[in-house]
Structure 1
Amino acid sequence: MDISSNMKEIDAPPSASLNDRIAQRVRDLRAARGLSLDALATHCGVSRSMISLIERGESSPTAVVLEKLATGLGVSLASLFDAPAPAADPVARAADQPQWRDPHSGYLRRNVSPGGGSSPIQVVEVLFPPGARVAYETTAREPVVHQQVWVLDGVIDITLGDDHHHLETGDCLAMVLDRPMSYHNPSRKPTRYAVVIATLPSRN
């Protein structure tokens, strides 16, 4: 199955509409948790001024910054791209699936699943450029977020805490997002992989 053509549509920074969607999601999630800008900044390690810019849709944050916000808000990174309301249609058409490019590494991600939080499972497709590297300062979050990375084409090196994994086409890695992690494409061609994310309540 070749889906790479769908991942080549965006060569520009995130559109204003997608920045606005991220802005509203961060505002709504922060309000739902009763957090001030200062409290969220302290909690996630992102400056108050940066969060304010993101919430006004005036910044194109990197994946690392968005992951810090997601961790601080107790959600997955993918959920920051969701529409504000659950999708009425259980089918997410390819043309409507939001795509976003990390301004730092250049990796391109597409939220495949219907948005709005209607399911605890999310599917994301990623096109990772040759030589690119992204490191996340992930920590344990509540609720617990499980993730599996399935390599569709190419290779990817993933470090999770002290564990190192080299994945090739067809390989799949299961993990819990509770430790610092990094992705690196050591090859000279793009790598495509799917990420399946499940958010589960704590057993406590």
Structure 2
Amino acid sequence: MRSDPDPVDARIGARLAELRAQHGWSLDELAERSEVSRSTLSRAERAEISATAAVLNRLCHVYGRTMSQLLSEVEAEPAPLVRAAEQQVWQDRASGFTRRSVSPPHSALRGELVEGRLTPGADIAYDRPPLPGLEQHLWVLGGTLDVTVGDTSHHLAAGDCLRMRVFGPTRFRSTGSAEARYVLAVVRP
């Protein structure tokens, strides 16, 4: 157990516990709905572990939120202008994924911008979208990225843009020797 949890992990954990309580679900019920172990859910809520991108994606699916929405809920009131130094950064160190919320979600808007970075060889698989029918536009800024949407794979290089509406599994793999860096425009259905 970590003696001094990361402040972002602590806020995420508290929000996850709050959402579960709002739905009136026990840890066992949430584990069944999300297909995440009870132990992992409990430890994430207490910020004993940093939830992985895959775990947060499953929980977002259960709660009907995008990951950006969940992360924005642990911030203060969103401002119309977000300076680079103030943009929330979240890391899944285990998978080599760094996510910057460039344009955080707002309740009056359906779109947001996210910067993603994957270390060479990083491989992230999501078994479902947080919201079925989520529209995404992925623009690669550097490196190479293999993206699989359902059964279709795409090899993307710097400058390429992949447009997709996500209903099933997706996978992002950094395939080159350099970090893959991309912008993801997310539009809620």
Alignment-mate amino acid for residue 77 of structure 2? A
Distance 1:189 1:176, change over 3 A: same
Among 48, 54, 68, which residue is 1:58 paired with?
Answer: 48
Q: Which amino acid aligns with 2:36?
A: V
Q: Does 1:49 align with 2:39?
A: yes
The CA deviation at 1:150 is 0.9
Which residue of 1 is the match for residue 157 of structure 2? 168
Q: Does 1:107 align with 2:106?
A: no
User: How much does 1:116 deviate?
Assistant: 5.8
Aligned counterparts, 1:142-181, within 5 A: 144-181=133-170
Identical counterparts, % of pairs: 37
**Which structure 2 residue ranges, 5 or more long, are not aligned?**
none
Q: By percentage of residues, which structure has more strand?
A: 2
Deviations 1:149-168 (Å, cap 9, x if unpaired)?
Answer: 11111211001111111111
Report SS of the residue matched to 2:109: coil
Amino acid paired to 1:169: A
After TM superposition, where is structure 1 displaced by more than 6 Å over at least 4 residues in a row? none
Amino acid at match of 1:188: S
Whether 1:96 aligns to 2:86 is: yes
1:61 to 1:84, Cα distance in 2 relative to 1, 3 A:
closer
2:117 matched residue in structure 1: 127
> Contact 1:94–1:112 (CA<8 Å) still a contact in 2?
yes
Distance 1:175 1:25 in 2: 29
> Residue 29 of structure 1: CA displacement?
3.0
Where do 5+ consecutive residues of structure 1 fail to align? 1-14
> What's 1:189 paired with?
178
Determine the C-alpha separation between the residues in 1 that align with 2:119 and 2:97: 6
**Where does residue 18 of structure 1 map in the other structure?**
8
Residue type of the alignment partner of 2:152: D
Change (3 A) 1:174 1:83: same
Q: TM-score with structure 1 length normalisation?
A: 0.81
Q: CA deviation at 1:184?
A: 0.9
Question: What's the RMSD between the two structures over aligned residues?
Answer: 2.2
Q: Distance in 1 between matches of 2:85 and 2:68?
A: 18
- Report the Cα offset of residue 84 of structure 1: 4.0
1-structure distance, mates of 2:107, 2:42: 24
TM-score, structure 2 length as denominator? 0.86
